[in-house]
Amino acid sequence: MRRSVDDLDRAFDLLAGRRVVALTGAGLSTDSGIPDYRGPGAPRHRPMAYAEFVSGEAAQQRYWARAHAGWRYLEAAEPNPGHHALVVLERAGVVTGLITQNVDGLHTRAGHRRIVDLHGRIADVVCLHCRRRSSRRDLQRRLERLNPGWADHRVRAAPDGDALLAETGGFQVATCTACAGVLKPDVVFFGENVPKNRVARCTAWVDDAEALLVAGSSLQVMSGLRFVRQAHRRGVPVVIVTRGPTRGDEMATLKLALGCSAVLPALAASCAGPAAPTPALRVRTRSSSAG
């Protein structure tokens, strides 16, 4: 515990009084009941790649059958203390921008405003033909009418609202109401590129930042790792908070192998004062403020 408190104090020293950009990953949402891909106890699950999804109707049926069954777990998830702590840090002027690799939308539901959903949001759907965007909730209602009772399958939740469901035969897939085209969740699948405008905005944020805080990401994919490399090249502090190793550990100024729901509220309590949530780990009171 003494080492944990010392590390939290050092994290405060690295972040206080600086413009901080936060980069979050799946490990932040595990305390909301959403499993990650690589953490301890994560289900063995290979997410569908873009090339497979567009390969034909069979792959699309398989994807939407599992996604329809798993949606209720994602929709029921609520922001946890880590999400709320980042909102406090934003309102205190500490976190000036948040880049999330998560597609669950929990940062927005928690009240975060200055945010880039790097990989999109699972709550949105896009037609691959006419590019019309629509609501996932509306699609869920259509899928329920086409497949009554399907969402009642007892399944184990997987990341991104998917479900571990072996049998998907007979599932009826809905098409775009405007052009009958193929519908896809408006998220970046493996094998797709993050839209350039999102990358450009995040790059500008990191260029302007005086510190980078990584929370709950193993940094296994380049879409997030690139920003750690960018901050490291600039010589600004990089603080990583996540259980287990990451690809960015060698570039980290400080690595805290602790859970986000413990560390982030503690940092918020130090940086933002009385407005912050009660921390699970306490650090000593300081008179300085991070504005």
Q: Which residues are catalytic?
A: 119
Query: How far apart (Å, rounded) are the C-alpha atoms in residues 198 and 191?
Result: 17
Whether 262 and 11 have beta carbons less than 8 Å apart is answered as no
Query: Which letter does DSSP use for residue 195 in this model?
Result: P
Q: How big is the CA angle at 55 (ends 52 and 61), to the nearest 5 degrees?
A: 80
Query: How far apart (Å, rounded) are the C-alpha atoms in residues 231 and 209?
Result: 8
Query: How far apart (Å, rounded) are the C-alpha atoms in residues 202 and 48?
Result: 26
To 10 degrees, the CA torsion angle through 224, 229, 232, 233? -140
Work out the number of other CB atoms within 10 angstroms of the CB of residue 8: 25
Query: How far apart (Å, rounded) are the C-alpha atoms in residues 69 and 267?
Result: 37
Token pair, residue 252, equals 């980290």
Q: How big is the CA angle at 131 (ends 177 and 199), to the nearest 5 degrees?
A: 145
Q: Is 248 helix (H, G, I), strand (E, B) or coil?
A: coil
